Amino acid sequence: MAKDIAIVLNNGGINSAVVTALAAQKFRIVLLHIESTEQTTSRLRAAYDLQLAHFKPYREHTLAMPFLSIVHQGTPTQPISDPRHIAPLAPQLVSLLPFVACATRFAAHYGAVSVHLGFRIGGNADELAEATEYFQIWDELLQSPCNQPDLKIETPLLELETWQVVDVGFQVAAPFDRTWSCSEQGSEPCWACRSCRAREAAFQQAGKPDPMRVVRRV
């Protein structure tokens, strides 16, 4: 097993940028981007390409999963979502299944020691316990019947609030200017949708300037 390789799921959002920066501190990273047919030309894909250029990973793979456009009910690794409107946890965990499965298959291929996800729950004790159990089950499945004893699923953002993700991102020099949070597909963020407002609130609570705001003003 390659002790210095980690698989990182990256969808172009803020959480992805932060978790990729965290993983890159310790490992050679293999970036994995999963998209449906509709996402092929999306702003999230463009943001992923920018992050790809920034991190210069050891390897990179983009996987098309067109079936997601049929069953899609919200990607579990979305950009920052409004903490006042918490989505039900069970559907998020179900949606996460194909992502984790693909990532772990690539981990086995590369002999990686970990799969890094930007999945975040926050401080809700009940949901945090459920999500923690979910990933523990994945670890047990991989390490015993799948015979990958050193492989672990890493979710370093799991219990953080959105502003804490921003704070950690600044500590590890995450490329926030190469992320996308807007629900629209324009050339610039709209700063009016729920996702944009949540992003703005997260940076304000962290006491940090949003590079996307700076870039837009230039």
Q: pLDDT tens, 13-28? A: 999 999 999 999 999 9
Can you give the pLDDT at residue 69?
76
Contact residues for 154 (Cβ-Cβ < 8 A; gap 6+): 6, 23, 114, 115, 116, 117
Backbone angles phi, psi at 135, to 5 degrees: -75, -30
Can you give the pLDDT at residue 79?
45
Task: Look over the chain and give the mean of its residue pLDDT values, rounded to a whole number.
Answer: 88
**Which domains, and CATH codes, for the chain?**
5-217 (3.40.50.620)
How sure is the predictor about 55, in pLDDT bands with cuts at 50, 70 and 90?
Answer: very high
Residue 29, pLDDT > 60, answer: yes
Count the alpha carbons within 13 Å of 205 in the hemisphere toward its beta carbon: 14
Q: pLDDT tens, 113-139? A: 999 999 999 989 999 999 999 999 999
Can you give the pLDDT at residue 76?
43
Predicted TM-score (pTM) of this structure: 0.89
How sure is the predictor about 1, in pLDDT bands with cuts at 50, 70 and 90?
Answer: low
Q: Compute the distance between CA of residue 188 and CA of residue 152 in angstroms, rounded to an integer.
A: 37
Q: pLDDT tens, 132-166? A: 999 999 999 999 999 999 999 999 999 999 999 99
Backbone angles phi, psi at 100, to 5 degrees: -65, -40
